[in-house]
Structures are given as C-alpha cells and as structure tokens.
Amino acid sequence: MSAKRFMAFPAAAALAFGLAACGGGGGGAEEDGGEDTGASPEMTEESPMETDGTEMAMDQPFGPACADVPTEGEGSVEGMADDPVATAASNNPLLSTLVDAVTQADLVDTLNDAEDITVFAPANAAFEEIPEEDLNALLEDQDQLTEVLTYHVVEGRHGPSDLEDGTFTSLQGEEVTTSGSGEEFTVNDEAASVVCGNVQTANATVYVIDGVLMPGD
C-alpha cells in the first residue's frame, strides 16, 4: 500500500505573570532616608520564571480541537490524567478510530505498560482522510498496522518547548521530527499539525494531530 495515498492536512503556552517581592528587613532603608528598590522575581520549581520575570504556564492543553474534548468524566483532560494512555484514549471520543486500531494491533498493554512516552495521536478526522480501501487494508494487516502505530509513539515525555525543533526516536525505530512555537506545531515537515497538545495521562504526554504519520515519508 503506497504511503503517498495517505493524506494529512495542517492544524504552548499561555502566559501568566508573577513577581515575588523580597522585602528588606530591619527598617534600615527607612531610617537612613533611602528608598528600598530590592524587589526581584523569585524562582521556584513550581513556578519557573523567565529572566524578565514572566512565568511560563506550560502545563495546560492547547489547540482548537481541545474544545471538543469532554469537559467532565473519564474522557476529560482531568479524567485522562488518571489512566494509562491506551485506557485514557479509549474514553476520549476524538480518538475512537485510533483506539480501534490499537486494539486491532494488540498494542493496548504495550502502551499502557510503557513508562514516560509521548504519543502523537491521530484524531478520527485524520483517519477519515485515508481512502476507505487503503484504511481497511491497513487495519487488516497487523504487521503494517503495528509499524504505523508505533511510529506515532516516541521515547520520553516531551513538553511543548521540546517540540520547537525536535527529533525523537519512535518505538518503531525511525525518527519523528517536530517544529513550531507557541501553540502551533507541526510533525514531520508539516505532514500533520497538533490540534490539541500537551494532554497528560498517567504514563504519557499526548499531542492529538490531524494526520496519520507514515514511516519512511
């Protein structure tokens, strides 16, 4: 089946501001008539700060398709965080076709048992771009289906900043590349775009994408 027949079409961070003032003790500045200008940004592990005092909130999902994620229940952003990735995806209606493919390839336990992975998860609409005949053939060929699905999984949990100019090794063995910034990222030279990114599960970071990636493309 020719990879060229598979189509993919194109689809972080919000900024929060925080400054922690460090007050002078003992009243020395007031007694001397001086002005205390010692306020400075404070850095903590919980609130990383840029050098200009801007706090980067990189832990929230982003992208237009996030509006279609359930707002409550096991398929919501909060609900998915409690389950391993294959189970979490099975509760999200955006990923039902992917879940069917993962089940068909017998990869549910493989993904659920993996530690610290990042998944580029094609949304249902991505699979709809594949001609029906080709999609059916892929789903019926377990070896090729496994190759394609494991190509969407890379080692390590990667935040949005890692995707700005990223090269990652997939479980399939070939490299996956990413580029972009802010809330706009593409995968494999614009073969797909991230439409809902930085979704957390118990063992993975998930980026929902609008195309199916093909090894060797």
Rounded-to-integer distance, Cα 3 and Cα 138, Å: 11
Identify the pLDDT of residue 217: 72
Between CA 24 and CA 153 the distance in angstroms is 51
Q: Work out the number of other CB atoms within 10 angstroms of the CB of residue 216.
A: 7
Cα–Cα distance, 41 to 96 (Å, whole number): 45
pLDDT tens-digit series, residues 110-132? 999 999 999 999 999 999 999 99
Of all residues in the chain, the percent with pLDDT exceeding 90 is 71
**Which pLDDT score, from 0 to 100, does residue 128 have?**
95
- What does the pLDDT read at residue 204? 98
Can you give the pLDDT at residue 77?
93
Taken in order 86, 88, 93, 95, the sign of the CA dihedral is negative
Question: What Å distances lie between residue 177 and 46, 144, 181, CA to CA?
Answer: 29, 21, 14
Residue pair 142/106 in contact by the 8 Å Cβ criterion: yes
Q: Which domains does the chain possess?
A: 3-11+59-209 (2.30.180.10)
> How far is Cα 206 from Cα 67, in angstroms, rounded to an integer?
15
Lowest average pLDDT, out of 3-17, 48-62, 196-210, goes to 3-17
- Spatial CA neighbour of 66 closest among 211, 161, 208: 208
Three-state SS string across 168-180, please?
Answer: EEECCCCEEEEEE
With contact defined as beta carbons under 8 Å apart, do 162 and 116 qualify? no
pLDDT tens digit string along 28-57? 444 444 444 444 334 333 334 333 333 334
User: Does residue 23 carry a pLDDT above 60?
Assistant: no
Q: What spatial distance separates the first Cα and last Cα of the chain, rounded to whole Å?
A: 13
The predicted pLDDT at position 58 comes to 52
